Chains A and B, each alone.
Chain A
Amino acid sequence: MPNIIYREKDVPNIHQFDVYTQNGGYDGLKKALGMTPVEVINEVKASNLRGRGGAGFPTGTKWSFIPQSEPVKYVVVNADESETGTFKDRQILENNPHQLIEGALICAYAIQAKAVYIYLRGEFWDLAHTLDQHIEDAVKGNLCGDNINGSGFSCMVYTHLGAGAYICGEESALLESLEGKLGQPRVRPPFPAQKGGGLYGEPTVVNNVETLTNVPWILVNGATAYKAINGNEQSPGTKIFCLSGHVNKPGNYELPMGVTFRELIYEHGGGITNGKKIKAILPSGGSGPILNATDEVLDCKLTYEDVVKVGSILGSASVIVMDEDTDITWVAAKITKFFKHESCGKCTQCREGTYWLDKVLDRIMKGEGKPTDIDLIMNIAKNMQGVTLCALGDFAANPIIWTIKNFPDDFKAHIVTKAPEVAAKPAAKPAPAPRGKAAAPAQGGD
């Protein structure tokens, strides 16, 4: 399997411009510049490359939505990596940044954009400043900026730092934030690729870091070769799997799409810490349903289609592993707190729903859970899901409702089934005498 993304494993110091160009770097961009923009889009379409930010939307198809006739277009790179358990894009930005820059410029050429904005989460402060240096090196090397490689195509790459908001990883909230407004999702349509829906109202492609980092390889080696990596038409190529939690070797693993949970966790991740047994898996950080680590789940292939069959989603492939001693209700409470903190507040259902889910779970974790809490939680969830401007509202109730469904014993352990002692109530006051009538007899005892 070729290391498409984490090339630092084969070529030391590939983050340096000279080393990168000496090892095939920017060959993909040079090749693209000799093709027509439409040919470039078609090659990426043919590869079936799917977005690596979590939604898995076909990349070439997204690029093809950009109206060719519009004069101003943008590429925005989503480097707001904030999903719990996700740290793959960070490693790309640290160790193979030029491949991202190259991929973004190929996209820019394909849609004829004048500028690329790389939106990094604010906490990638040091990374962003180093990335500025790398961009400068590419400009000096005539592979970024004016008249790239003498082709006549010009496009500059800028970095922009966020300031700590998970919601800015949602593409429309990212655009709002980049425009200097609150990072809150927009009403769609219009979508970012359409006029009126993108950055500053212009057609825009928003792509994840890992997605674009695949593109140079596809241009150089071709769509057919990309699909041949794992022979899977629907989920081709390699994927970075982030492995964290109770494993001996947490880290990022670039593997062909279609490896199983078992292979990832045991062969690559070194198995469960402290010799414990595995209990639960979150395949997509905090967002997807939490799975019981049964044999069926462990043997499930890590593709977009297969993970759905066992009841969850692959998403960003941020695989968090929990051992047999983990209280899954505690896990749900943790993630619920995350969503409550990160809710942008725009949609009433999400703002109120995450607040109340968090309060209910606080109460449950304090030992005051009631049997009626299951209905209460399901009711809150029903009122949050499918009715908000972005997926945060859909995902926020997942942790607790899937804990109740998949780990009922963990949940019931927190529910008090014995009714608390009821204090003796004082006697009711007699009702005031109606006018003209005798006073009603006193109710209740003395």
Chain B
Amino acid sequence: MIAEKYADRISKTFAKYPDKRSAVMPLLYMVQQEYGWVTPEGLVEVAELTDLDPTQVKSIAGFYTMYSEKPKGKYWLQVCTDLACALRGADEFHKQLKTHLQVEEGGTTDDGLFTVEHVMCLAACDKAPMLQCNFHFHENLDMEKMKVLLEQWRNEVNAAVGKPVES
């Protein structure tokens, strides 16, 4: 339960806002960090903490791209294929990445490590092709550099979704 595990972070979060409801988004990130995605149980936890209905919390989770409503790989790769990146080869890079990992759009590799999807502009247009992995930026990419990164990640033992805030 995030209420116990993240008690300190949660109380610091609530202290930022005059209204409890504002904490919905930060709490959803904590749920995702804890369970790997926004689980139905996680939705209920957030609802209880913010005095909202689970359906209200669900509607927030569904509205935004950075909350995953289903399980995904340890490494969530979000490739920008928006216009400015596409003018500099992002569509081809995105296709090559999926081919290399043998996944469909939005799919996860069989070993459960990598999920690949395309997203809209990530404000890195001068460094295309690029992607976010678990919300961290990796820029000026090509498949050579990508293969090196994939290998590094395969070798990592722990992967957290996002970085925990250092209290």
Q: Within 8 Å CB of A177, what residues of B?
A: 25
Residues from chain B with Cβ under 8 Å of A320 in the complex:
83-84, 87, 125
Contact assessment for A338 and B19 in the assembled complex, using a CB-CB cutoff below 8 Å: no
Known contacts A179-B22, A200-B18, A242-B125; A334 and B83 CB within 8 A of each other: yes
Q: Which B46-105 residues have a C-beta within 8 angstroms of A?
A: 50, 52, 59-60, 63-67, 82-84, 86-88
CB pair A163–B125 under 8 Å, yes or no, is no
Query: In the assembly, what is the distance between CA of A251 and CA of B128, in Å?
Result: 11
B165 at interface (Cβ–Cβ under 8 A)? yes
Q: Is B119 an interface residue, CB under 8 A from the partner? A: yes
- The answer to whether A87 and B88 have CB atoms under 8 Å apart is no
Within 8 A of B (CB), among A312-328: 318, 320, 322, 326
Q: Which of B26, B119, B123, B137 contacts A126 (CB 8 A)?
A: B137
B83 touches A123 (CB 8 A): no
Min CB–CB distance A299 → chain B (angstroms): 23
B125 touches A87 (CB 8 A): yes
Give the contact-size bracket for chain A.
Answer: 35 or more
Q: Do B65 and A163 touch across chains, with their CB atoms under 8 A apart? A: yes
- Min CB distance, A102 to chain B, in Å? 21
A393 close to B (CB within 8 Å):
no
Is B63 touching A183 in the complex (CB atoms < 8 A)?
A: yes
* B141 close to chain A: CB less than 8 A: no
Whether A87 contacts B126 in the complex (CB less than 8 A), given A129-B165, A163-B66, A180-B50, comes out as: yes
Inter-chain contacts of B137 with A (CB < 8 A) = 126
**Alpha-carbon separation in the docked complex, A163 to B119 (Å):** 12
Q: Which residues of A contact B26 (CB under 8 A)?
A: 160-161
Which residues between 128 and 155 of chain B lie within 8 Å of chain A, taking CB atoms?
128, 132, 135-137
A279 to chain B, nearest CB (A): 11
Question: A182 at the A/B interface (Cβ < 8 Å)?
Answer: yes
Residue of chain B at shortest CB distance from A282: B83
* Cβ < 8 Å to A, chain B residues 24-48: 24-26, 28-29
CB distance from B74 to the nearest CB of A (A): 17
- Could you say which of A76-84, A142-150, A402-410, A420-428 contacts chain B? A76-84
Contact of B84 among A85, A90, A123, A180 (CB under 8 A): A85
Contact indicator B83/A286 (Cβ below 8 Å) = yes
Residues of A within 8 A of B124 (CB): 87, 90
The one of A125, A126, A180, A331 in contact with B60, judged by C-beta atoms closer than 8 angstroms, is A180
Q: Which of B18, B20, B24 has the most CB of A within 10 A?
A: B18
The answer, yes or no, to whether B5 is at the interface (CB within 8 Å) is: no
CB distance from B38 to the nearest CB of A (A): 10
Question: Chain B's nearest CB lies how many Å from the CB of A358?
Answer: 13
On whether the beta carbons of B87 and A166 are closer than 8 Å, the reply is: no
Considering only residues 184-201 of chain A, those with a C-beta below 8 Å from chain B are: 200
Interface residues in A261-277 by Cβ distance below 8 A to B read none
Looking at the assembled complex, report how far the CB atom of A341 sits from the nearest CB atom of chain B, in whole angstroms: 6
- Is the pair B84, A84 in contact by a Cβ cutoff of 8 Å? yes
Query: How far apart sit A266 and B42, CA to CA, in the bound complex (Å)?
Result: 53
Complex CA–CA separation, A85 to B120 (angstroms): 11
- Contacts A122-B135, A183-B63; A164 near B25 (Cβ below 8 A): no
Bound CA–CA A245/B125 (angstroms): 8
Whether the Cβ atoms of A84 and B120 lie closer than 8 Å is yes
Q: Is the CB of B66 within 8 A of A84?
A: no
Residue among B66, B124, B132 with the highest chain A CB neighbour number at 10 A? B66
Q: Is the CB of A160 within 8 A of B135?
A: no
Q: Chain B nearest CB: distance from A159 CB in Å? A: 9
- Bound-state CA distance A212–B123 (Å) is 19
Out of B20, B65, B87, which one reaches A245, CB within 8 Å? B87
> Complex: how many Å from CA A84 to CA B123?
7
**In the complex, which of the residues B25, B26, B88 has the most CB atoms of chain A within 10 Å of its own CB atom?**
B25
Q: Do A338 and B22 touch (CB < 8 A)? A: no
Indicate whether A362 reaches chain B with its CB closer than 8 angstroms.
no
A162 touches B125 (CB 8 A): no
**Is there contact, CB below 8 Å, between B83 and A85?**
yes
Indicate whether A244 reaches chain B with its CB closer than 8 angstroms.
yes
Among residues of B, the one whose C-beta sits closest to the C-beta of A202 is B18
B residues less than 8 Å from A331 (CB atoms) = 83
Verify if B122 is at the interface (C-beta below 8 Å from A).
yes
Tell me the bound Cα distance from A164 to B87 in angstroms. 22
A158 and B29 alpha carbons, distance in the complex (Å): 17
B-to-A contact residues, CB < 8 Å: 16-26, 28-29, 50, 52, 59-60, 63-67, 82-84, 86-88, 119-126, 128, 132, 135-137, 162-163, 165
Shortest beta-carbon contacts, A-B, top 4: A164-B65, A180-B21, A163-B64, A250-B126
- Selected A-B contacts with CB under 8 Å, 27 pairs: A82-B123, A84-B125, A86-B125, A87-B123, A87-B124, A121-B123, A122-B135, A126-B137, A126-B163, A160-B16, A162-B25, A162-B64, A163-B29, A180-B23, A181-B21, A182-B59, A182-B60, A200-B19, A244-B87, A244-B88, A244-B128, A251-B126, A282-B83, A320-B84, A331-B83, A334-B86, A342-B120
Task: List residues of A whose CB falls within 8 A of some B CB.
Answer: 81-87, 89-90, 121-126, 129, 132, 158, 160-166, 177-183, 200, 242-246, 250-252, 282, 286, 318, 320, 322, 326, 331, 334-335, 338, 341-342, 344
Besides the known contacts A126-B163, A244-B84, A342-B120, 11 further A-B residue pairs in the complex with CB atoms under 8 A apart: A86-B123, A123-B123, A125-B135, A126-B136, A129-B165, A160-B22, A163-B29, A163-B67, A165-B63, A180-B23, A344-B63
